[in-house]
């Protein structure tokens, strides 16, 4: 029996580990699959609800590191995870995405001579001012198996000197969760509870420091959302970081100035998937949402200068607007009037990426 530890830390990780956990159950006679939750996100709406929605078992190991600066959080995860590796003696550690927990657990595993598999490897924004880009680069450099979601990732890894034998183009595990839970999400009544009809609203997620940590920028974005809300409702489930910044900068009255701009608590996975599929447009700075909207064919307006997921722009429905809020306004209104960019679904985004990964990992461990 081989032991595989899969690490989750932040909200996007849960959607990636859930299908992996299901896939590894097929090999339960030879693979003992354990989930380690670092506790990087510890808010109930950001964590527990996702475990319930995604039908994940309660984590086998919970580290409870909580929030802190990048250095402190990474160090706390490393110290706690080192004990886990020492006790469990895993044959392989699976890390997903690009959060601090991903980097921390990959580093510990590599130094303790445990094989590391990185799911969602090779993605690059080429912007090292983003902490996630540093996490991606370092994690890929020390991983033994690199599972890639889009072909740009293969090219990036080869350019960085990673051997072909380590690289596996398998598709997108985030889409696996979407495909698996799409019908269940359609039974959600969240839109009805919010008084929304299909394609009658914009959906917003914002949390990146470049958008929410500077008062003038955040005020301009809120004004953009208020302008969009003159045409249709705007639903804005607020990330805890963003809510704190709105209050800190004295922008709460501006945010509350229109009944058509609906500020809500974060939603669970199923409710949010329902809202996303039925939205006229997404306005976001999230990486994963760029992928999900591309699969769903929903227009996506991204308030970032770059993206580590270029396939969503090249083939998908994503439009990068950077700091140009006039462009974001123009593209948002076009989308709400049914004149948005059309896209197609990228190669191997078929809901079976996790099955491919589990098969490769099992063969490798045997």
The mean per-residue pLDDT over the stretch 352-362 comes to: 98
Of 125 and 68, which is predicted with more confidence?
125
pLDDT value for 310: 98
For residue 96, is pLDDT > 90? Answer: yes
How far apart (Å, rounded) are the C-alpha atoms in residues 77 and 251?
34
Would residue 26 count as lying in a domain? yes
Catalytic one of 70, 207, 239, 342: 207
33 is a catalytic site residue: no
pLDDT value for 44: 59
Confidence band, pLDDT 50/70/90 cuts, at residue 243: very high
Instruction: Report the CATH number that the domain containing residue 207 is assigned in CATH.
Output: 3.40.50.2000
Q: Environment class of residue 366 by beta-carbon count within 10 Å: exposed (0-12), middle (13-18) or buried (19+)?
A: exposed
Q: What is the per-residue pLDDT across 248-288, written as a single tens digit (0 to 9) for each? A: 999 999 999 999 999 999 998 999 999 999 999 999 999 99
If asked whether residues 30 and 158 sit together in one domain, one would say yes
If asked whether residues 166 and 191 sit together in one domain, one would say no
pLDDT value for 46: 52
- Rounded to a whole number of angstroms, the CA Rg of the chain reads 20
Question: Please, where are the H alpha helices in the chain?
Answer: 11-24, 48-53, 70-88, 100-111, 131-142, 151-159, 173-186, 190-193, 209-212, 215-228, 240-248, 252-255, 269-278, 287-296, 311-314, 325-336, 353-365
Task: Look up the domain containing 30 and give its range.
Answer: 2-171+349-365
* Model pTM score: 0.95
For residue 57, is pLDDT > 90? Answer: no
pLDDT value for 288: 94
How far apart (Å, rounded) are the C-alpha atoms in residues 96 and 164?
20
For all residues of the chain together, what is the average pLDDT? 95
The mean per-residue pLDDT over the stretch 44-50 comes to: 60
If asked whether residues 123 and 197 sit together in one domain, one would say no
pLDDT value for 240: 84
For residue 157, is pLDDT > 60? Answer: yes
For residue 229, is pLDDT > 70? Answer: yes
pLDDT value for 43: 61
If asked whether residues 323 and 187 sit together in one domain, one would say yes
Would residue 343 count as lying in a domain? no
If asked whether residues 240 and 221 sit together in one domain, one would say yes
pLDDT value for 226: 97
Would residue 341 count as lying in a domain? no
If asked whether residues 157 and 27 sit together in one domain, one would say yes
pLDDT value for 239: 86
If asked whether residues 221 and 251 sit together in one domain, one would say yes
Confidence band, pLDDT 50/70/90 cuts, at residue 200: very high
pLDDT value for 11: 81
The mean per-residue pLDDT over the stretch 341-364 comes to: 97
If asked whether residues 190 and 167 sit together in one domain, one would say no
If asked whether residues 126 and 215 sit together in one domain, one would say no
Would residue 48 count as lying in a domain? yes
The mean per-residue pLDDT over the stretch 2-19 comes to: 93
For residue 182, is pLDDT > 90? Answer: yes
pLDDT value for 47: 59
Would residue 33 count as lying in a domain? yes
For residue 45, is pLDDT > 60? Answer: no
Would residue 232 count as lying in a domain? yes
Would residue 236 count as lying in a domain? yes
User: How many independent structural domains does the chain possess?
Assistant: 2
If asked whether residues 146 and 202 sit together in one domain, one would say no
If asked whether residues 64 and 207 sit together in one domain, one would say no
If asked whether residues 143 and 42 sit together in one domain, one would say yes
Nearest to 90 by CA among 110, 72, 71, 75: 110
Would residue 176 count as lying in a domain? no
The mean per-residue pLDDT over the stretch 156-185 comes to: 98
pLDDT value for 257: 96
The mean per-residue pLDDT over the stretch 14-41 comes to: 94
């Amino acid at each position: 029996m081989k032991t595989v530890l899969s690490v989750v830390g932040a909200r996007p990780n849960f959607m990636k580990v859930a299908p992996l956990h299901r896939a590894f159950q097929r090999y339960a006679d030879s693979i003992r699959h354990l989930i380690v939750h670092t506790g990087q996100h510890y808010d109930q709406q950001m964590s527990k609800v996702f475990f319930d929605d995604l039908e994940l078992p309660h984590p086998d190991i919970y580290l409870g590191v909580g929030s802190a600066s990048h250095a402190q959080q990474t160090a706390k995860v490393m110290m706690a995870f080192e004990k886990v590796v020492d006790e469990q003696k895993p044959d392989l550690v699976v890390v997903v995405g690009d959060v601090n927990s991903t980097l921390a657990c990959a580093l510990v595993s590599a130094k303790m001579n445990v094989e590391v598999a990185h799911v969602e490897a090779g993605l690059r924004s080429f912007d090292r001012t983003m902490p996630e880009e540093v996490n991606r680069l370092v994690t890929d450099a020390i991983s033994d198996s690199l599972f890639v979601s889009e072909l740009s990732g293969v090219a990036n890894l080869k350019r960085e000197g990673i051997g072909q034998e380590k690289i596996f183009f398998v598709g997108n595990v985030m889409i696996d969760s979407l495909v698996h839970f799409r019908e269940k999400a359609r039974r959600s009544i969240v839109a009805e509870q919010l008084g929304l009809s299909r394609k009658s609203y914009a959906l917003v997620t914002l949390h990146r420091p470049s958008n929410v940590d500077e008062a003038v920028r955040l005020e301009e974005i809120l004004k953009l959302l208020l302008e969009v809300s003159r045409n249709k409702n705007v639903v804005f489930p607020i990330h805890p970081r963003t809510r704190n910044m709105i209050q800190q900068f004295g922008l709460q009255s501006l945010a509350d100035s229109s009944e058509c701009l609906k500020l809500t608590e974060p939603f669970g996975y199923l409710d949010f998937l329902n809202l996303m599929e039925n939205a006229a447009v997404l306005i976001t700075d999230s990486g994963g949402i760029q992928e999900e909207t591309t699969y769903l064919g929903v227009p996506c307006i991204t308030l970032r200068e770059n993206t580590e997921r270029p396939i969503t722009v090249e083939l998908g429905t994503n439009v990068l607007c950077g700091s140009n809020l006039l462009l974001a306004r123009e593209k948002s209104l076009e989308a709400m009037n049914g004149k948005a960019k059309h896209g197609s679904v990228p190669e191997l985004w078929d809901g079976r990426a996790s099955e491919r990964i589990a098969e490769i990992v099992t063969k490798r461990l045997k």
